[in-house]
A and B are shown apart, each in its own frame.
Chain A
Amino acid sequence: MPAKDVFGRAFPVILLTAVVAICVSLLTYVGSITLPRIEALEVQKIQGMLSGMFPDMSRYTFEDEIYAIYSDEVRIGYAFVAVGKGYGGAINILVGLEDEATIKGITVISHTETPGLGSRITEDLFTGQFVRLSVDDAALRRDGGQIDAITGATISSRAVADAVRITAMEKVKVLEDSEEGG
């Protein structure tokens, strides 16, 4: 006798529930395999960016959302993730600091800006401007800083510059507080 007749009128509901249950368990299984790998890839990506920014890096620690970069047990800088609000949503930026007042460099981790316009914030021509820049000067020229905005992408450029400056100031404060405390 077909399954349909055994369950009668409840069959559509039972079938739908069964399909959902099977699908969710399948997803849980696939998730358990892929999610650790996705996280590992994220860590690897950040690691690669850090060593690109600090070529002398031998190891790093991660505490209070701040990466402390060491070369042969000597601390050579800090790095952290800043989040800017661009056109298309969040722009995640890895910011490196040489010391409390100077930027070592920035790398855009991810963004969803318009291809060809806002997406140019990832280009060296733009990010290169931040290298060895004082934290206070990380703002667009029209806002009183040292950064030239990308033509046609002022909002994206400003989102990056402001996120870098504001987050750097916050993190420097955290660092100073923890040094006073310790």
Chain B
Amino acid sequence: MDGGAQEMNELIVIFLSMALINNFILVRYLGLCPFLGVSKELGPAVSMGIAVTFVMIIASLATWLINHYILIPFDIQYMYIIVFILVIASLVQVIELFIKKTNIALYSAFGIYLPLITTNCAVLGVTIINMMGSYTLLESLVAALGGGLGFTLVLAIMAGIREKLELADTPRAMKGAPIALITATLLGLAFFGFVGIV
């Protein structure tokens, strides 16, 4: 296999692994708060997913640059937690302001989810995974895209199922979060099937 194809292959593996095999919600348990909170209806679930994906990509870019041009040269990589979380918090603020000023329709569609994203462990999670996996910039961006889309996919599937569950005769004690978690169990088992695809 020549270098280019090998590289392309590695990117595909990273993408599939982040999106399906090591899905943020179902396998890594990251981003569970929005999973339980906004997965009740399809529309908001998809908007939230896209917002998260967007922030993940921007955050991966920013933290990769900071890690490689500040933390590593100055030998202060151990401070990454404080640096990354501050970068994500300020990025979210900037993105929120930017969208509010430029596109009010977009802002009303997913602006309200942005403040929630700062404390979304999936965003900090993807930046830490990129750093620990020693990914290149391109690999980090692909990982963020894959992770974000996988997150959106599961959020959307879940919302679809929960819309139907509303009408089902669930035992009273299992209504809400418990049945959502049981559904996640079954989804997780289904996603195990993806392990064999590559």
Which A positions have Cβ atoms within 8 angstroms of B?
23-24, 27, 31, 35, 83, 85, 87-90, 112, 114, 117, 152-155
For window 86-134 of B, CB contacts with A under 8 Å fall at 129, 132-134
Instruction: Find out whether the CB atom of B195 lies under 8 angstroms from the CB atom of A89.
Output: no
With A35-B78, A155-B13 as given contacts, are A88 and B129 in contact (CB-CB < 8 Å)?
A: yes
Partner of A27, one of B82, B129, B133: B82
The docked-state distance in angstroms from the alpha carbon of A24 to that of B196 is: 46
Partner of B82, one of A23, A88, A152: A23
Interface range, B side: 10 to 19
The docked-state distance in angstroms from the alpha carbon of A54 to that of B10 is: 34
Instruction: Find out whether the CB atom of B17 lies under 8 angstroms from the CB atom of A88.
Output: yes
Partner of B198, one of A31, A35, A154: A154
* Minimum Cβ distance to chain A for residue B177 (Å): 25
Q: Does B27 contact A (CB under 8 A)?
A: yes
- Residues of the A chain whose Cβ atoms lie less than 8 Å from the Cβ of B141: none
Instruction: Find out whether the CB atom of A89 lies under 8 angstroms from the CB atom of B79.
Output: no
| Total of A-B residue pairs, C-beta within 8 Å | 45
Instruction: Find out whether the CB atom of A89 lies under 8 angstroms from the CB atom of B196.
Output: no
For window 1-40 of B, CB contacts with A under 8 Å fall at 10, 13, 17, 21-22, 27
Q: Does B135 contact A (CB under 8 A)?
A: yes
**Known pairs A24-B79, A87-B13, A154-B196. 16 more at Cβ < 8 A?**
A24-B82, A27-B82, A31-B76, A31-B79, A83-B134, A88-B133, A89-B129, A89-B132, A89-B135, A90-B132, A90-B134, A112-B129, A112-B132, A114-B22, A114-B195, A153-B195
Instruction: Find out whether the CB atom of B21 lies under 8 angstroms from the CB atom of A87.
Output: yes
Q: Which residue of B is nearest A92, CB measured?
A: B134
- Residues of the B chain whose Cβ atoms lie less than 8 Å from the Cβ of A27: 78-79, 82
Partner of A155, one of B27, B135, B198: B198
* Minimum Cβ distance to chain B for residue A147 (Å): 17
The docked-state distance in angstroms from the alpha carbon of A114 to that of B129 is: 13
12 intermolecular pairs with C-beta atoms under 8 Å apart: A27-B78, A27-B79, A31-B76, A83-B134, A87-B13, A88-B129, A89-B135, A114-B195, A152-B195, A154-B196, A154-B198, A155-B13
Contact with A along B177-198 (1 / 0, CB 8 A): 0000000000000000001101
* Minimum Cβ distance to chain B for residue A93 (Å): 14
- Residues of the B chain whose Cβ atoms lie less than 8 Å from the Cβ of A83: 134
